[in-house]
Amino acid sequence: MSTLAGKHIVLGLSGGIAAYKSAELCRALVKAGVTVQVVMTEAAEHFMTAVTMQALSGRPVYTSQWDAREGNNMAHINLSREADAIVVAPASADFLSKLLHGGADELLSLMCLARPIDKVPLIVAPAMNREMWQNPATQRNVAQLKADGIHVLDVGQGDQACGETGDGRMLEAEEILEDLQAFFSPQRLAGQKVLVTAGPTYEAIDPVRGITNLSSGKMGFAVARAARMAGADVTLVAGPVSLATPRGVKRVDVRSARDMLQAVLAQVPSRGVFVATAAVADWRPANAADQKIKKDGSGQAPELGFVENPDILATVAQSPSAQNGDLLCVGFAAESHDLLAHATAKRLRKGVPLLVGNIGPATFGQDDNALLLVDAQGARELPHASKQVLATQLIEDIARRLAGTP
Ligand code: C5P
């Protein structure tokens, strides 16, 4: 379920070595259900052939404003009128400067200038050497382009084709795709600050052993991604998991329940939504040993006493901002049976307006799930689907609650 499916995007390439990533981007867009019309500048053709881009997009590429294939010979008008967006990737320093000044001496810039600005958004992915990127001229151009309503994507950081290292690389194809998906997503949580916990916690027994659980973090990461797609500013507090951080999400890594509580409490005063998907360990060893516990040959296992961990969700639900309605708290319950009864009881026990039940053993580590949304009015099922689809539906539900239209 991509927000890009069915869209028509004009993919413009200006001259830069990053053009090789545009081939991958074109392929990814087509795979996401987009029809892609490629337009290349003469400089772009030095880096990538029109043949490659035609093969990947499945459509003839436009490279000249004098292209006689158009009946009215106005490719710049026709191409821009059909598009849901124009995406220029790579956008060279020279191309940005041309856009800024309304230059129009070849098809791509001519088309950008000729587009109806209130209907066809222009999104650019800059790509250049770090000195060119940092140059005040480029920075001035970027600031003005943004002020003119052009969507300037971030640049990447790292090794550059010239051998230097720094800012100015074009984003990777999958990062641009992610930003485009966010761009086309309904911005239901625009201006909201969302805090999500995810994954298991790890409670040390000694420096080399500990207690944890089978939570993969996938549901919480999907919720964080869905919230970001919906326009929220998202912080994700993650227990030990091996998952990539969703693009555009701030991540704080923690290990134990107490670390998680501390990281969460530091964020709570500035947040409007808290979604607790983490599978927090209920107990921790009472006295974690400083050194590895050794077998002493007696055959006796060490005595492990346990103490209860703080309940992060219940603590946050009691905080002033949750109590006065400035923070919406959403809990999760991983149960093995009697989902409705357990989720209903847990919602009351935790003191939260919305509790999301799921069957733990069926979903831990999986890419799909089914959710039961329980609130004071009753329960609503979100039937079996991928965790990302369910996360998007949950975020829609949360957005309706914030808007007072559940
Ligand atoms: O009590 P139980 O662990 O089943 O509750 C699940 C919900 O409470 C989840 O939202 C989980 O993130 C949260 N929780 C918590 N701190 C704990 C235990 C659970 O925030 N110590």
| CATH at residue 32 | 3.40.50.1950
Residues 173 and 261 in one domain: no
Q: Is 333's C-beta closer than 6 angstroms to any atom of ligand 1?
A: yes
Other CB atoms within a 10 A radius of the CB of residue 189 amount to: 25
Residues 242 and 382 in one domain: yes
Asked if 354 and 401 touch (Cβ cutoff 8 Å), the reply is: yes
Q: Give the pLDDT of residue 406.
A: 63
At 235-285, the pLDDT tens digits run: 999 999 999 999 999 999 999 999 999 999 999 999 999 999 999 999 999
Residues 206 and 171 in one domain: no
- Choosing from 143, 163, 184, the residue where a domain stops is 184
For residue 343, being part of any structural domain is answered with yes
Cβ partners under 8 Å of residue 187, min gap 6: 230, 231
Residue 73 main-chain phi, psi, to 5 deg: 55, 35
How far apart CA 143 and CA 140 sit, in angstroms, is: 5
Asked if 168 and 189 touch (Cβ cutoff 8 Å), the reply is: no
Residues 165 and 75 in one domain: yes
Question: Residue 71 gets which letter from DSSP?
Answer: T
Q: Give the pLDDT of residue 296.
A: 86
How far apart CA 76 and CA 64 sit, in angstroms, is: 9
How far apart CA 192 and CA 173 sit, in angstroms, is: 28
- E strand or H helix that includes residue 227: helix 218-229
C-alpha of residue 356 to centroid of ligand 1, in Å: 11
Asked if 327 and 268 touch (Cβ cutoff 8 Å), the reply is: yes
Find the CATH number of the domain harbouring 378. 3.40.50.10300
Instruction: Choose among 182, 188, 195, 275: nearest CA to 229.
Output: 182
C-alpha of residue 342 to centroid of ligand 1, in Å: 13
Pocket test for ligand 1, best of 213, 313, 315, 373 (most atoms within 8 A of CB): 313
Residues 178 and 151 in one domain: yes
Asked if 278 and 221 touch (Cβ cutoff 8 Å), the reply is: no
* Minimal-distance CA residue to ligand 1 atom 9: 332
Q: Is 196's C-beta closer than 6 angstroms to any atom of ligand 1?
A: no
For residue 51, the number of C-alpha atoms closer than 13 Å in the C-beta half-sphere is 1
Secondary structure (3-state) at 392: helix
For residue 254, being part of any structural domain is answered with yes
Residues 251 and 395 in one domain: yes
Cβ partners under 8 Å of residue 266, min gap 6: none
Q: Give the pLDDT of residue 1.
A: 59
- Choosing from 152, 167, 184, the residue where a domain stops is 184
Residues 325 and 399 in one domain: yes
Residue 26 designated active-site: no
Among the listed residues 26, 112, 162, 329, the single catalytic one is: 162
Secondary structure (3-state) at 15: coil
* Minimal-distance CA residue to ligand 1 atom 13: 313
Our count of domains for the chain comes to 2
Please identify every stretch of the chain with a pLDDT value under 70, giving residue numbers as ranges.
1, 406
Strand-pairing partners, residue 96, are: none
For residue 131, being part of any structural domain is answered with yes
Q: Is 313's C-beta closer than 6 angstroms to any atom of ligand 1?
A: yes
At 59-115, the pLDDT tens digits run: 999 999 999 998 999 999 999 998 999 999 999 999 999 999 999 999 999 999 999
How far apart CA 183 and CA 187 sit, in angstroms, is: 8
Residues 36 and 178 in one domain: yes
Residue 11 main-chain phi, psi, to 5 deg: -100, 110
C-alpha of residue 310 to centroid of ligand 1, in Å: 9
Identify the domain containing residue 23 by its residue range: 8-184
Residues 105 and 241 in one domain: no
For residue 296, being part of any structural domain is answered with no
Going from the C-alpha of 307 to that of each of 210, 212, 256, 258, 303, the distances in angstroms are: 14, 15, 13, 12, 13
- E strand or H helix that includes residue 220: helix 218-229
- The encoded tokens of residue 180 equal 């485009």
Q: Give the pLDDT of residue 362.
A: 83
Residues 31 and 103 in one domain: yes
Residues 126 and 12 in one domain: yes
- Radius of gyration for the alpha carbons in the chain, expressed in angstroms and rounded: 26
Strand-pairing partners, residue 275, are: 196, 330
How far apart CA 242 and CA 137 sit, in angstroms, is: 41
Alpha helices in 32-159 (DSSP H): 50-57, 75-82, 93-101, 107-114, 130-134, 136-147
For residue 54, the number of C-alpha atoms closer than 13 Å in the C-beta half-sphere is 8
Instruction: Choose among 246, 255, 202: nearest CA to 220.
Output: 246
- Choosing from 184, 210, 228, the residue where a domain stops is 184
- The encoded tokens of residue 9 equal 């995007």
Cα angle for residues 106, 108, 109 (degrees, 5° grid): 75
Cβ partners under 8 Å of residue 159, min gap 6: 165, 169
Residues 85 and 169 in one domain: yes
